[in-house]
Amino acid sequence: MKKLPTVLLCGGLLCATAQAAEPVNQIAVLTHQQAQQLVAKAEQIIDRHHIGGAIAVVDPFGQLIAYERLDGATLANSELAPKKAHSAVAFGAPTASFQQKIAAGNIGLLGNPAVVPLPGGEPVKVNGVVVGAIGVSTPDGNVDAEAAQGALSALKAG
């Protein structure tokens, strides 16, 4: 009977040793500094259009990392920016793609509360993996798309 606990203990040590020897996979994350870079680049683009707005960056779980409310932002801008970011990260797709799908007749998307079918939400990907998203809302949807897409270049350059 005394050999059984010893065998189990040794078996456990062998397993622990084998697991420790395996390489650890690195998981890409969106840092606060990177989120701030996204916000800064989007703000720069919005400023060129001389309008107000709001910018939100979320992690892969839709939790807010960074948020900026610019002068002239409306209540709608302040609420939509985080919702666009959340929608983009939830589906790993630009929010403008929902607008296109609905226009093509897929009105069932409108029943999903996570879908925001407006331009300005872009997933942030590292090596093909969604690590977060940016949402931009201004009075002009074209500016929203330009700023969100342009912000992604801040990470590629850095």
Q: Counting beta carbons within 10 angstroms of the beta carbon of residue 91, is it exposed (0 to 12), middle (13 to 18) or buried (19 or more)?
A: buried
Alpha helices in 50-95 (DSSP H): 75-91
How far apart CA 116 and CA 80 sit, in angstroms, is 9
Percent of the chain with pLDDT over 90: 77
Amino acid sitting at position 143? V
pTM: 0.82
**Confidence band (pLDDT; 50, 70, 90) for 28?**
confident
- Which residues, 6+ apart, have CB-to-CB distance to 41 below 8 Å? 147, 150, 151, 153, 154
Instruction: Report residue 90 CA to chain centroid gap.
Output: 8
pLDDT at 17 over 60: no
pLDDT at 16 over 70: no
Summarised one tens digit per residue, pLDDT across range 74-105 is: 999 999 999 999 999 999 999 999 999 999 99
